[in-house]
Amino acid sequence: MHTVKQILGQKESNEIWSIRPDATVLEAIQAMADKRAGALLVMEGPALKGIISERDYAREVILKGRSSKDTLVGEIMSTKLITVPSTQSVDASLAIMSKNHIRHLPIVDDDTVVGVLSLGDLVKDVISDQQSTIEQLENYIRG
């Protein structure tokens, strides 16, 4: 079974997309659109402060009639962060994400953010692993 570090190594880009808590929500939404991302880490320098997602925007800005230009990321970001170390297994990470109903998982080693994985990144790895197992079993059966 793979670790999240291995998945990070397989990603096309392991760039950490982030925004500052004092940025406007409009800036965050624009950055998400530009990067085609569903969430951004909220960081002050190297310190992880929170995460902002499209869901946060919908629930805390749109549904409450707030202005994207006047609302700061720090006002609506999720601060109850769930992170895992890069040594965590894919299966355990998926279980954590499922249990906590989250779609993005920051990977943190020794208080340093080393990447972020989406639910899709992990599911893609599981499917690939299962496909490989199926092919090996088919080859074994054929002899």
Domains of the chain in sequence order: 4-142 (3.10.580.10)
Question: Sorting pLDDT into bands at 50, 70 and 90, what band is 138?
Answer: confident
- Residues 89-114, mean pLDDT to the nearest whole number: 95
> What burial letters (b/e) apply to 80-93, b meaning 16+ CB within 10 Å?
ebebbebebebeeb
What average pLDDT does the segment 34-49 reach?
95
pLDDT beyond 90 at 52: yes
Label residue 102 by pLDDT band (50, 70, 90).
very high
What pLDDT score does 15 carry? Answer: 85
**Each residue of 1-28: pLDDT tens digit?**
789 999 988 877 778 999 999 999 999 9
pLDDT, mean of residues 61-76: 96
29-33, 89-93, 119-123, 130-134: which range is least confident on average? 130-134
pLDDT(91) > 80: yes
Q: What is the DSSP string of 73-141?
A: HHHHSB-S---B-TTSBHHHHHHHHHHHT-SEEEEEETTEEEEEEEHHHHHHHHHHHHHHHHHHHHHHH
